[in-house]
Structure 1
Amino acid sequence: MALTAPPEMQALLLDLQALDTHLQQLAHREKTLPEHETLTAITAESESVRATLVDARGDLDDSRTELGRVESDVDLVEKRIARDTERLQSSSSVKDIQGLEHEVASLRTRLNDLEEIQLAVMERVEVLELTVEAAESQHRDHAARLSAAQEAYHAALAALREERAGVLAQRETLSASIPDDLLALYEKQRERYGVGASHLRARVSSASGVELTGSDLETVRAAAPDEVVMCPDSNAILVRTGESGL
């Protein structure tokens, strides 16, 4: 036995389908939010920005450690020069004096070499300090961009979900006014085929976009106003109104 329902009840299915279509659109929008794409792109930069900063700090620490070693060597050589110079001034042995003078000369050569190394390392430290400052600035900027992107995404998401909650409330109210058997058929067809109700307008089914002709059109014309008929192309409930062109 064919399912029947008053035409005005069948017409409510179009409103229900509109709400369900809206919900589908909201779900799609949630998956394709531009704010989410922006957040994903900025997040993808995080590891690179962090690695740049870690590497810069590591290079600076290594160079500072090297500078400390060179400065220690310079200090040690300077002390040895001072000690040997003092011994030279107090020594009366020609042999000792010659040995000390040779050692002092070697130490001064060594000191010159160390001072050149020290200067080069100091210059490298200065450059690396600037590099670290730039990396820290980049890291701060990235953190600010990431925070702003997160806020924008969560705000957009909250707005969508608030809209969705409103549509669901409308759907619940509307569903309560539709006969259970008609609603059950609508839900079954929507779950199976993606669309539960189709408006027949000017002989064209809105769900399929196909014009009814021939035997399909005659079947629909012959159906009683309260008989629930199905769209032959989309398998949705075909809702007839004054616009159907029958």
Structure 2
Amino acid sequence: MKAAPKDQQRLLDLQGIDTALNQLAHRRRSLPELAEIEKVARELSALEDERVRAQVAVDDLDRDITRYEKDIEQVRTRKDRDQARLDAGGALREIEGLQHELATLNRRQSELEDAELELMEKKETVERALAEVKARLAEAGERRSAAEKNRDETYAEIDKEQEFKSQARVPLAADLPADLVQLYDKVRADTGLGAALFRAGRCGGCRIELYGADLNRVKSAPADEVVRCEECRRIMVRTAESGL
């Protein structure tokens, strides 16, 4: 392929823009905020599981405490009824029976109240754990929000720079021969780099130094010939820096 030396040299400008666009795309994919957001997401998931378990424990204790309260209330109601009957008097056998039942009810009430108190103490411990995990959830949520804010701000900067570079690329590519740009784009798609400066006998793409016949091939090629590296197939652009 033939192309004017100045057009070949302008490929380096085009490659500079494309390299910058690739770097911006890489930066977008590898923002540290993305890793932080993913890390916090895992942390939030684990904390939410912990919160659910703590909430279930609190709910279970509430249910058990409510059941004990109902049982205690039933005992109290029965005690009040028996006490009223005892106060009303009656046969000795009936009075003794009521006294025995009241003693039994008192023991039952004491047992129920002790059990309820134990559950209430457990509930306080579980509620503290629940409050702690909720606080950790809130803190992790704030960290995620901060990371997302930084990510979005950086995305906006990258988008602005990408737009600027892309707009600069259009007239540059349009001003070059279509077949040269087509070859450049194909090589760039295949290798990631379409054109590189040939400097001091070395391909700027693969960094391999040429000797002997390979170097003579480049030296003897007409100035308007598009020379490609035998190793990496990239366009080697010759300039005054090439030392030929």
The verdict on a shared fold, with TM-score over 0.5 as the criterion, is yes
Residues 198, 231 of structure 1: 8 Å contact kept:
no
Matches within 5 A, 1:130-141: 130-141=128-139
Per-residue displacement from partner, 1:139-166 (whole Å, max 9, x unpaired)? 2212212211221222222222222222
Partner of 1:105: 103
Q: 2:15 aligns with which of 13, 17, 35?
A: 17
**Runs ≥4 residues deviating over 3 A:** none
Partner of 1:197: 195
Residues 190, 196 of structure 1: 8 Å contact kept:
yes
Alpha-carbon RMSD across the aligned residues, in angstroms, is 1.4
Once the two structures are TM-superposed, the CA of residue 201 in structure 1 deviates from its matched residue by: 0.8
Q: 1:172 aligns with which of 162, 167, 170?
A: 170
Q: Which secondary structure state, in structure 2, belongs to the residue aligned with residue 210 of structure 1? A: coil
Partner of 2:211: 213
Q: 1:52 aligns with which of 50, 60, 74?
A: 50
Sequence identity of aligned pairs in percent?
A: 36
Q: 2:62 aligns with which of 54, 61, 64?
A: 64
Per-residue displacement from partner, 1:10-50 (whole Å, max 9, x unpaired)? 10011111222222222222221111000110011122111
Give me the whole-angstrom Cα distance separating, in 2, the residues matched to 1:189 and 1:147.
Answer: 42
Give me the whole-angstrom Cα distance separating, in 1, the residues matched to 2:235 and 2:200.
Answer: 16
Structure 2 letter corresponding to 1:11: Q
Partner of 2:89: 91
Give structure 2 stretches of 5+ with no counterpart. Answer: none
Give me the whole-angstrom Cα distance separating, in 2, the residues matched to 1:153 and 1:124.
Answer: 43
Partner of 1:238: 236
Task: Please say if 1:41 is aligned against 2:36.
Answer: no
Structure 2 letter corresponding to 1:50: E
Give me the whole-angstrom Cα distance separating, in 2, the residues matched to 1:100 and 1:187.
Answer: 103
Do the aligned partners of residues 55 and 206 (structure 1) sit closer, same or farther apart at CA in structure 2, a change above 3 Å counting? same
Task: Please say if 1:157 is aligned against 2:176.
Answer: no
Partner of 1:75: 73
Give structure 1 stretches of 5+ with no counterpart. Answer: none
Give me the whole-angstrom Cα distance separating, in 2, the residues matched to 1:52 and 1:192.
Answer: 49
Q: Which secondary structure state, in structure 1, belongs to the residue aligned with residue 225 of structure 2? A: coil
Once the two structures are TM-superposed, the CA of residue 131 in structure 1 deviates from its matched residue by: 2.1
Give me the whole-angstrom Cα distance separating, in 2, the residues matched to 1:194 and 1:141.
Answer: 42
Structure 1 length-normalised TM:
0.94
Residues 204, 236 of structure 2: 8 Å contact kept:
no
Give me the whole-angstrom Cα distance separating, in 2, the residues matched to 1:135 and 1:238.
Answer: 61
